Copies of this chain bind each other. A is one copy, B any other.
C-alpha cells in the first residue's frame, strides 16, 4: 500500500475537490483519494506506488496542477 500527498493549485470549492478525486480514483490501483481545496493537499492511497507523471496527468485532466509532493 502506498499513500502520497501532493500539493495541487487551483481548487476553490467542493466541486473542484470532487473533480480531482474522480480523475485520480480512475487510476489503476487507487483505493482512496482525499482532496482539500482549502489547503490544496491531495492524498492518494494506492495498492502500488503511482508514478508522479500519472498523477500529474490525471490532475491536469481535471483542470488543476500538481506543484509537487507535500
Report which residue of A13, A14, A16, A63 has the largest number of chain B beta carbons within 10 angstroms of its beta carbon. A13
Q: Is the interface of A mostly helix, strand, loop or mixed?
A: helix
Copies of this protein, total: 2
Contacts of A14 in B (CB 8 A): 63
CB-CB contacts below 8 Å: A14-63 with B: 14-16, 19, 63
Docked CA distance A63–B15 (Å): 11
Q: How far is the CB of A48 from chain B (nearest CB, A)?
A: 31
Please name the 7 residue pairs, one residue from A and one from B, whose CB atoms are nearest each other, closest first.
A15-B15, A12-B12, A12-B13, A13-B13, A13-B16, A15-B16, A13-B15
Residues 1-17 of A, flagged 1 when their CB comes within 8 A of B and 0 if not, give 00000000000111110
